[in-house]
Structure 1
């Protein structure tokens, strides 16, 4: 940790963390707070602060971790996409409804977010595996998938904590929870399939 603060050089991860901290603060002040009070009520505002704290903590820990080793800018772009599609769900309104509340092909936008985040999450974790020279043969992608699914499950556990500790929360029911996990699985599976085909094509050459 001391190395991080002693090193005065500015890296792409510093710009990424700083800009996203400002972006999230902006979203909290301009969008999230008022909409949370509107949809959930002022009595449940502690739920808002719980989520805000978790997100700020994730930004900080990610910054600390990524600063210890250099990552390519396209990895940060992939992470940024996952952040922006989430913000879009709360910020963009269609027919006076949040994007998060809308359905496309009878599927809630939220599930597309889970799918995309898991697909890109697998891409990012796989990149980190390669950077650390972690190769366990054909089951490497399986381990990548397990890590991403584990992160997704951890998020669902955090939401379960909200359910247990905050009355009248807006987390959703068991079906919502499981459909989130299924969306995560589909995203990971898509990435694994793409890579499997890519590896098979490479081996034939």
Structure 2
């Protein structure tokens, strides 16, 4: 795979943090996040391969790279005794552990994925039907990611993946992120394609 010159900085930055976190998780014997590294590397390879045809804007690649970095950081950084992923950013509900770093990251990440899907299909004008398709594409990618997390929880006995409520909250925040992306598409006028 050949990296376009305009994408070289984002590719180097992404490769650097992926290498760092791979070594970090190997040393720490954090097999859960080593599997996440493999998933992110697979995803990055897919983006890199499809960029030949799609020609993603550089800002979109940076947004994806930031998501990967924040994801890797969430499993590595502790604030006191609390892993960043479990950190409650704004205490909205103790029963549901709202609003956590993990949930913010799900909204951000699958919001960006929704923007990617909209870009892939040619940035069409947002009609109700196109809006539903784009939101469902982003939300579907989020559901696929939840399936991957579930499979990781079956393979790695010591993991930080939550149960049913955590899974459901992740899906809800994936959906919220997709809806926010749709609003951003309309607000910023990204729907100027076909």
TM-score (norm 1): 0.74
Change (3 A) 1:191 1:173: same
User: Structure 2: where are the runs of 5+ without partners?
Assistant: 92-98, 190-194
Specify the alignment match of 1:22 in structure 2: 16
Task: Give the deviation of 1:54 after TM superposition.
Answer: 2.0
1:163-201 Cα deviation digits (max 9, x unpaired): 3344343322111111100011111122224445677xx
Structure 1 contact 33–48 (Cα < 8 Å) conserved? no
Specify the alignment match of 2:40 in structure 1: 55
Specify the alignment match of 1:12 in structure 2: 6
**Correspondence for 1:176 among 155, 162, 166:** 166
**Correspondence for 1:33 among 19, 26, 37:** 26
Total equivalences in the alignment: 182
Instruction: State the structure with more CA Rg.
Output: 1
Task: Give the deviation of 1:59 after TM superposition.
Answer: 1.6
User: Structure 1: where are the runs of 5+ without partners?
Assistant: 38-44, 200-205
Specify the alignment match of 1:157 in structure 2: 147
Bigger shift: 180-189 or 15-24?
15-24
Distance 1:13 1:78 in 2: 13
Distance 1:91 1:48 in 2: 9
Change (3 A) 1:98 1:136: closer
Secondary structure at the residue paired with 1:170?
coil
Distance 1:90 1:165 in 2: 17
Structure 1 contact 100–109 (Cα < 8 Å) conserved? yes
Task: Give the deviation of 1:19 after TM superposition.
Answer: 3.3
